[in-house]
Structure 1
Amino acid sequence: MNIPRHRSALLAAAGTALVLSLTACQSDGDTASSATPEATVAATAVSAQPADGKGTGTSGATGPAEAARSTGSKDSAGSTGSSGSSGTTGTTGSTGSTGERASASAPLCTAGDVTVRAATQDGPPYTHLVLTARNTSHHACRLTGFPHIQFLESHKQDVPAVGKSKPATPVVLTAGAPAYALVKLSDGGIDEDTEPVSAFSVMLEGDPTVIAVTAPGSEGIAVDPAKALTGYWTPELRNGADDF
């Protein structure tokens, strides 16, 4: 059968158009199938994964760093070496501060804590006495000020104290420890107006109890009330400060 040449051309064009149409439909179908809900979810998951993955990766990367930082912070906080500086609290217990606190906390010595005795100093004429107050208690106590001395019933005033003999720090007597006070009786002149004294009274600072002290020597001591002086209680007699 002879088909006209122009119909052959039309058929060929129609066939080409059909092929192109089918191809387009197939590509549209593929596109549509790729746009199914599952593909959309997968695409969403894939597109979301990098963002989440980046965050996860960051947290994962920072995980060791955070662990390192937390370890470091534990080391710094838990470095008992630094907290060991609490050992420096031991420095608050330094000897000086402890000694000062002990001095401040020690009670005042009373007549019941000490025994007071008198002895002459140097040779005749005996112009000075040394008073010794020894702590006979079982605890430490503070011996402050000077001995309040009255030699004669006719002179009720306390013997004046010499200021230069005052110690710079409090006198704290541990059990059995002594303290001393130098006492001037007279100038030692033969024309002095002295009176014999066989015993006299002493009171401690802060305690009204009268301590009776026996004067040394079989004949007692000669006292000129106008010349008598006393020093402060000190742990030892000191040259210069106790010379009066």
Structure 2
Amino acid sequence: MSAFRYRTTALAATTTAVLALALTACGGSDTGTRAEGPASDSAPASAAKSEDGTATKVDAAAKTPATAKGGTTAGGGTGGSTGGGTAKGTTGSASTPLCTTKDVRISAATQDGPPYTHLVLTAKNTSGHKCEMKGFPEIQFLESHKQNIPSVAKSKPEARIVLDAGAPAYALVKLSDGGADEDVEPVTAFAVWLQGGDGQVAVRAPGAEGIAVDPAKYKTGYWTYELRNGADDF
């Protein structure tokens, strides 16, 4: 059934369930858990809703922001860059600590659409020191599907993703195939864990009505410095 057939009541119920999941689901702990409203800063390849309500989405062809509806954030910390290209991290050393949910601000923005079949997650280092984004985001969209969504091996970068203070990392997430008769479920918030880091965050989905997720189709890419044609096409 189409995502457009869902009504506000269903979305409200799902929001409550998913926020509860973010606080109690297995695989995370209460330490470092946050669920915050929209933030005002933004990153080059993703979008955060500003205080005046303006939002952006990612253009898959150009991999740069394009004006659109959607894009909200959750997490902690302040600061960051806007526009003017992608800020990259550095190689770092073996002693560079892993990023935790206390070190980064995580936001979600729709990519292309409609239909909106993909999200871009942005994790901006707000800690004031270098940290490493390990592997891929561990995501649980639905209370009825408590396992983490699967990862896409071809999106794994060759080098470690070490972020300087203020630098972002990105991960592409597939939600569905976008079919009108696809068996999707509405999601307005979802849980994210960082590999090797403590805590979890509840990330608000972009758009007033959230996103439509197909448990048979969803998957996530690895954290990278920037979205890459080919490796991130899935």
TM range (shorter): 0.5 to 0.7
SS state at 1:196 partner = strand
Deviation sequence 1:47-75 (CA, Å, 0-9, x none): xxxxxxxxxxxxxxxxxxxxxxxxxxxxx
Match of 2:229 in 1: 239
Q: What amino acid is aligned across from residue 116 of structure 2 in structure 1?
A: Y
- The answer for the alignment partner of 1:126 in structure 2 is 116
Q: Does the CA-based 8 Å contact 1:141-1:174 persist in structure 2?
A: yes
Name the structure 1 match of 2:140. Answer: 150
TM-score norm. by structure 2 comes to 0.61
Structure 1 gaps of 5+ residues are: 1-98
Partner of 1:73: none
Report the equivalent of 2:46. none
Structure 2 residue identity aligned to 1:123: G
Which segments of structure 1 move beyond 3 Å, counting only runs of 4 or more?
Answer: none
Deviations along 1:115-167, whole A, 9 cap, x unmatched?
Answer: 10000000200000000000001100000100000000000010100000000
What is the rounded CA distance, in whole Å, between the counterparts of 2:98 and 2:116 in structure 1? 32
For structure 2, list consecutive stretches of 5 or more residues without a partner in the other structure.
1-89
CA distance in 2, matches of 1:103, 1:157: 32
Partner of 2:167: 177
CA RMSD of aligned residues (A): 1.0
Amino acid across the alignment from 1:139: H
Between Structure 1 and Structure 2, the one with more strand by share is 2
Counterpart of 1:131, as a letter, is L
Instruction: Quote the residue 1:223 is aligned against.
Output: 213
The 3-state SS of whatever aligns with 1:104 is: coil
Within 1, Cα distance between the matches of 2:166 and 2:156?
A: 22
Structure 1 or 2: larger helix share?
A: 1
Aligned to 1:166: 156
Shift of residue 173, structure 1, vs aligned partner: 0.4
- Aligned partner (choices 135, 158, 161) of residue 125 of structure 2: 135
Q: Percent identity?
A: 72
TM-score (norm 1): 0.58
Equivalence for 2:192: 202
Cα displacement string for residues 79-128 of structure 1 (whole angstroms, at most 9, x for unaligned residues): xxxxxxxxxxxxxxxxxxxx75x332210000100010000000200000
Distance 2:217 2:205 in 1: 18
Task: Give secondary structure in 2 for the equivalent of 1:243.
Answer: coil
State the secondary structure of the residue aligned to 2:93.
helix
Number of equivalenced pairs: 145
* Paired residue secondary structure (1:182): strand
